Amino acid sequence: MATIAFIGLGNMGSGMCANLAKAGHDVRAFDLSADAVQRAVSNGASAATSAAEAVSGADAIVTMLPAGKHVRAVYEGEIFDAAAAGTVIMDCSTIDVATAKSVGEAATAKGFHFVDAPVSGGVAAADAGTLTFMVGGPEAAFAKAEPFLSNMGKAVIHAGDAGTGQAAKICNNMLLAITMIGTCEAFALADKLGLDRQNFFDISSKASGQSWSMTSYCPVPGPVETSPANRDYKPGFATAMMLKDLKLAMDSAAAAGASTPLGAQAEALYAMFDNLGGREADFSGIFKLIDGSWKA
Ligand code: NAD
């Protein structure tokens, strides 16, 4: 069993940290929020008072932070100085490809085994230990990170060199945004046509309209018990986070010369939902914008 530093104990990090402790590791938890650290302690971790303290002497480090600027600050400000060369480092945050590449390459040059390892699956999968990890970095670093990631997930897939985990993640989340909006439109139309929501779900979830957005994260209350729709769209995966990922996808598309017209539409709709007060709501709450019932 290993000593693991876990930094970033929010909606996702909380369950991931708990699963590493459950697997028998000695986990040192740090977050800027004292409440989040306290929750981690009640789930089997020990408290650290800074990122530097958490990583000092650790065998492995996991970070689960909001965006690229937080990742850069924590790595360049604390981790690179306080961690020992040879430490296995997994950044599971969703961030821009350029930051992932530059932090990853700097870490490798300093002798760390670093991978970018963003996740898919949401809070329910983080809690259940059934995330999918998309991993970028050298083959040797992937081999060292894989057992730790397996403690938190059901699938760990190597995508290629530094930054490719993030590239896979933003492509995936652009597709998720598009299928979520499409699923919301279908339920809004089904309502107008007088279909029962559960009945439409029973049909479409077994027909060609099926997607994760429908069967695991249905945007209307009722059919899928764990959906944020059943908790008045409390996240889950906040609209602000989805908008962040869509901006990353659109920036990458522009840089690469890719044509992504539905991704651009999805970004515009999520920006509108954000401006209308949906920022803190789950991203599936865009159903209410589409059916006209949204009130901030
Ligand atoms: P969150 O905002 O709930 O958690 C982020 C945590 O990081 C917070 O607790 C915050 O206090 C902490 N933090 C920020 N700066 C810090 C610092 N300098 N030192 C220590 N802690 C710091 O976000 P989340 O929903 O857990 O998402 C985390 C990442 O995972 C994001 O990049 C997000 O895009 C990605 N993600 C989220 C989901 C989801 O369903 N929520 C799914 C897949 C991927």
Ligand 1 center–CA 194 separation, angstroms:
40
CATH number of 196's domain: 1.10.1040.10
30 and 54, same domain (yes or no): yes
- Ligand 1: which of 16, 39, 65 to mutate, judged by most atoms within 8 Å of the beta carbon? 65
126, 160, 194 - which closes a domain? 160
Q: Residue type for 89, please?
A: I
Q: What's the complex ipTM?
A: 0.99
Q: How far is CA 176 from CA 8, 156, 183, 223, in A?
A: 24, 19, 10, 19
Q: Which residues of the chain have pLDDT under 50?
A: none
Q: Is residue 284 part of a domain?
A: yes
Provide the pLDDT for residue 25.
98
Q: Residue with structure tokens 């209307």?
A: 220
Ligand 1 center–CA 13 separation, angstroms:
7
Give the count of domains, the chain.
Answer: 2
The range of the structural domain enclosing residue 70 comes to 3-160
130, 160, 190 - which closes a domain? 160
Report how far residue 38's alpha carbon sits from residue 40's, in angstroms, rounded to the nearest whole number: 5
Q: Which residues line ligand 1 (CB under 6 A)?
A: 7-13, 30-33, 36, 51, 64-66, 70, 73-74, 93-94, 119, 122-123, 236-237, 241
Q: Is residue 51 part of a domain?
A: yes
The H or E element that residue 153 is part of is strand 153-160
147 and 209, same domain (yes or no): no
Using the atom order of ligand 1, give the atom closest to the CA of residue 9. Answer: 9
Report how far residue 273's alpha carbon sits from residue 267's, in angstroms, rounded to the nearest whole number: 10
Cis-peptide, bond into residue 236, ω within 30° of zero: yes
pTM of the entire predicted model? 0.92
Provide the pLDDT for residue 296.
87
Using the atom order of ligand 1, give the atom closest to the CA of residue 93. Answer: 32
Counting Cα atoms < 13 Å in the Cβ hemisphere of 154 gives 11
Ligand 1 center–CA 11 separation, angstroms:
7
Q: Which of 143, 139, 97, 147 is nearest to 118 (CA)?
A: 97
12 and 143, same domain (yes or no): yes
97 and 183, same domain (yes or no): no
| Residues carrying an active site annotation | 169
CATH number of 85's domain: 3.40.50.720
Provide the pLDDT for residue 122.
86
98, 130, 160 - which closes a domain? 160
Q: Is 208 exposed, middle or buried (0-12, 13-18, 19+ CB in 10 A)?
A: exposed
Q: How far is CA 270 from CA 12, 143, 190, in A?
A: 21, 37, 22
